[in-house]
Chains A and B, each alone.
Chain A
Amino acid sequence: MSQLKVVGQNVKKKDVKEKVLGTAIFAADIKMDGMLYGKTLRSKVPHGIVKKINVSQALELPGVHAVLTEQDIPGVNKAGIIVKDEPVLVGIGQRIRKIGDPLAIVAAETEEIAEAALDLIEVEVEELPAVFSPLDAMKDDAPKLYEKGNIMAVRRIVKGDVAEAFKNCDVIVEQDYTTSMVEHAYIETEAGVAKMEGDVVNVWVCTQNPHYDRKDVAYNLNIGLNQARIIQTTTGGGFGGKLDVTVHVHVALLAKATKRPVKMVYSRRESISNTVKRHPFIMKYKTGCDKDGKLIAWQTEIIGDTGAYASYGPGTLTRAAVHATGPYEIPNVKVEAYTVYTNNPQAGAMRGFGVPQVAFAHESQMNLLAEKLGISPLEIRMKNAFIPGSITATGSKLEHSVGLKSTMESAKQAAEKVLGDKF
């Protein structure tokens, strides 16, 4: 085979030299003439209705150039990747759905002045009962975050007839699993700078999603797509957490209002408490096989806590449903995956998109079945693994190569080499 240019070669990252020299420019490194600093006033309660926001004192503070609230949004007060359910700023009469919901934004000469201005904004909120467990949120009498209820989406997968099939199983394992909320904790917190150029707003921002960001900025500022430019800066880690809009619209609004460049950099505390997380899952698994370990019936219910806003929730739960049965062929499957709103921080995309959570559960199920049958964990996987021609739970026929069995075989040989008799 001829030498390939990239595959199999040691390739240097395009921007690696700047990164080791310290000259790569991340969003927080940008400095412009006349640049102001932005800060966000956030809700201290998880659920409530805003009754009053008074910014007059904050506006009077020397060095403050703008204090904006929901009334200052020229376009639509909604953002979100899949569902537009997240307010840019929660206004008077509107609903706060989590601690940290933005209520007002400030641009000032320095970060300290901007912070001091936040303390001068008067806010009154009528607090409402909050719900933090998705199981509670699904109950009829739970506090409702949205008119249509707290169940944001349901994804169902049905193949064959599980109820009937469980009757024919020799061994059944039923087990609940829970996974926790996880923060991405990229070392660079969210940051961006916006600057007007005529009627075009330029936003330099760390992001994984510039094309989506652009639509939101245009939509919220009520300007044409051609008037919104997103310039992705060198981005200090994202892992799915920088797909959502954070500082983008806020700096754009402030730059437009002040006609000055405006920079916003989240503190670590702000980043952790206000940006998306990995969905915590509650999973109920029931898996049955015959006495030889061949899977017959598989039933899974997944409840994903998407927090106050949808973000990538419906996508994450769809992916979780599709992967709920692992890389195994099963004739009878029933999966139900619920995306549920609560007053927790919103959950979105994070490395694997719901799949790591279900992998923990389906692999545990396989181990438990093997234990009950008295066979090795490898044997039960070899018996049920996808092969070319397998039909997945969603009805896809795997026409091409499936490397699972040969991979397990290689792994077995490697393990035997290391462990010898102990394997």
Chain B
Amino acid sequence: MNKKLIKFTLNDKEYKVEVEPQVLLVDLIREELGLTGTKVGCGEGECGACTVIMDGKTVNSCMVLAVTVDGKKITTIEGLAKGEELHPLQKSFVEEGAVQCGFCTPGMILSSKALLDENPNPTPEEIKKGLSGNLCRCTGYAKIVKAVEKASKELNK
């Protein structure tokens, strides 16, 4: 097959990889690069478990062909903590009990991050809208919203 060389930044690290055009971004991240924090829940953009941030905007990595991320900047859940130090969102999710089974958590945190990067002081309604592409079935939404509010305060200090 015709492999294409792509260059992109993943969690602040430069990558140069050859991919077949059929490969999905989520498979490149999980299978080729071994970062399994990005999850697959539905494979068709309904659940948001595969959410990553691409050039500042969230996308469902299960619907993006890897070949199209050439030149782009991607952030996955693994790119948030600084060594042992959790990102304020990760900290607030832990403290507020916003994590149950944990499968939606990486996507939730990334959608929250993209939201706070654009809007540092969201209202609860804006948070709900920002997270409307991420499903949680343990239904801890109330705590997730609280966690985002808490992190927003922490980040604005």
- Given a CB threshold of 8 Å, the question of whether A touches B is answered with yes
Residues of A within 8 A of B (CB): 10, 12-13, 15-26, 28-29, 31, 184-189, 234-239, 267-268
**From residue B32, how far is it (CB to closest CB) to chain A in Å?**
11
0/1 interface trace, chain B 84-117, chain A, CB 8 Å (1 if under)? 0010001001110101111111100100000000
The answer to whether A236 and B90 touch (CB under 8 A), given A187-B47, A187-B103, A268-B44, is: no
Find chain B residues with CB under 8 A from A25 CB.
36
> Quick check: A29 and B102 within 8 Å, CB to CB?
no
> Quick check: A236 and B102 within 8 Å, CB to CB?
yes
In the complex, whether B142 has a CB less than 8 A from a CB of chain A is: no
**From residue B60, how far is it (CB to closest CB) to chain A in Å?**
13
> What size tier do the contact residues of chain B reach?
35 or more
From B1-9, B63-71, B73-81, B122-130, the one touching the partner chain is B73-81
> Quick check: B102 and A15 within 8 Å, CB to CB?
yes
A10 CA / B42 CA spacing, docked (Å): 33
Find chain B residues with CB under 8 A from A28 CB.
36, 39-40
Find chain B residues with CB under 8 A from A29 CB.
30, 36
**From residue A291, how far is it (CB to closest CB) to chain B in Å?**
43
Find chain B residues with CB under 8 A from A18 CB.
102
> Quick check: B137 and A185 within 8 Å, CB to CB?
yes
Find chain B residues with CB under 8 A from A24 CB.
102
The answer to whether A22 and B76 touch (CB under 8 A), given A187-B47, A187-B49, A268-B44, is: yes
In the complex, whether B138 has a CB less than 8 A from a CB of chain A is: yes
Select B78's contact among A10, A22, A236, A267, beta carbons within 8 Å: A22
Query: With contacts A19-B99, A268-B44 known, what are 17 further pairs, Cβ within 8 A?
Result: A16-B102, A17-B86, A21-B37, A21-B77, A21-B80, A21-B90, A22-B106, A25-B36, A28-B40, A31-B34, A184-B137, A185-B137, A186-B103, A188-B41, A237-B138, A239-B137, A268-B42
Residues of B within 8 A of A (CB): 30-31, 34-44, 47, 49, 76-78, 80-81, 86, 90, 93-95, 97, 99-106, 109, 135-138
**From residue A114, how far is it (CB to closest CB) to chain B in Å?**
15
The answer to whether A237 and B137 touch (CB under 8 A), given A20-B93, A186-B101, is: yes
> Quick check: B102 and A19 within 8 Å, CB to CB?
yes
> Quick check: B39 and A26 within 8 Å, CB to CB?
yes
Number of A-B contacts (CB under 8 A): 95
Find chain A residues with CB under 8 A from B47 CB.
187
Find chain A residues with CB under 8 A from B101 CB.
186-188, 234-238
A238 CA / B95 CA spacing, docked (Å): 23
Can you identify 26 A-B contacts, CB atoms within 8 angstroms? A10-B95, A12-B94, A12-B95, A13-B99, A16-B93, A17-B86, A17-B94, A19-B102, A20-B77, A20-B90, A21-B37, A21-B80, A21-B81, A22-B35, A24-B102, A25-B36, A28-B39, A28-B40, A185-B137, A187-B41, A188-B103, A234-B101, A236-B101, A236-B102, A267-B43, A268-B41
Find chain B residues with CB under 8 A from A267 CB.
43
The answer to whether A186 and B137 touch (CB under 8 A), given A20-B109, A21-B77, A31-B34, is: yes
**From residue A83, how far is it (CB to closest CB) to chain B in Å?**
28
Q: Which residue of chain B is the closest to A12 with respect to CB atoms?
A: B94
> Quick check: A20 and B99 within 8 Å, CB to CB?
yes
A140 CA / B81 CA spacing, docked (Å): 65
**From residue A30, how far is it (CB to closest CB) to chain B in Å?**
9
**From residue B14, how far is it (CB to closest CB) to chain A in Å?**
21
Find chain A residues with CB under 8 A from B103 CB.
26, 186-188, 236-237
> Quick check: B94 and A20 within 8 Å, CB to CB?
yes
Find chain A residues with CB under 8 A from B135 CB.
187
Find chain B residues with CB under 8 A from A234 CB.
101-102
A8 CA / B31 CA spacing, docked (Å): 43
Q: Which residue of chain A is the closest to B42 with respect to CB atoms?
A: A268
> Quick check: B37 and A23 within 8 Å, CB to CB?
yes
Residue from A15, A18, A20, A21 with most neighbouring chain B CB atoms (10 Å): A20
> Quick check: B137 and A187 within 8 Å, CB to CB?
yes
A394 CA / B77 CA spacing, docked (Å): 52
Find chain B residues with CB under 8 A from A19 CB.
99, 102, 105
Residue from B31, B76, B106, B136 with most neighbouring chain A CB atoms (10 Å): B106
**From residue A195, how far is it (CB to closest CB) to chain B in Å?**
18
> Quick check: A21 and B86 within 8 Å, CB to CB?
yes
**From residue A342, how far is it (CB to closest CB) to chain B in Å?**
26
> Quick check: A236 and B86 within 8 Å, CB to CB?
no
**From residue A326, how far is it (CB to closest CB) to chain B in Å?**
24
Find chain B residues with CB under 8 A from A16 CB.
93-94, 99, 102
A188 CA / B93 CA spacing, docked (Å): 19
Find chain B residues with CB under 8 A from A236 CB.
39, 101-103
**From residue B85, how far is it (CB to closest CB) to chain A in Å?**
11
A185 CA / B38 CA spacing, docked (Å): 18
> Quick check: A21 and B78 within 8 Å, CB to CB?
yes
**From residue A45, how far is it (CB to closest CB) to chain B in Å?**
26
Select B39's contact among A17, A20, A187, beta carbons within 8 Å: A187
**From residue A352, how far is it (CB to closest CB) to chain B in Å?**
14
Q: Which residue of chain B is the closest to A29 with respect to CB atoms?
A: B36
The answer to whether A268 and B43 touch (CB under 8 A), given A21-B90, A22-B38, A22-B78, is: yes
Find chain A residues with CB under 8 A from B30 CB.
29
A13 CA / B140 CA spacing, docked (Å): 14
A195 CA / B76 CA spacing, docked (Å): 30
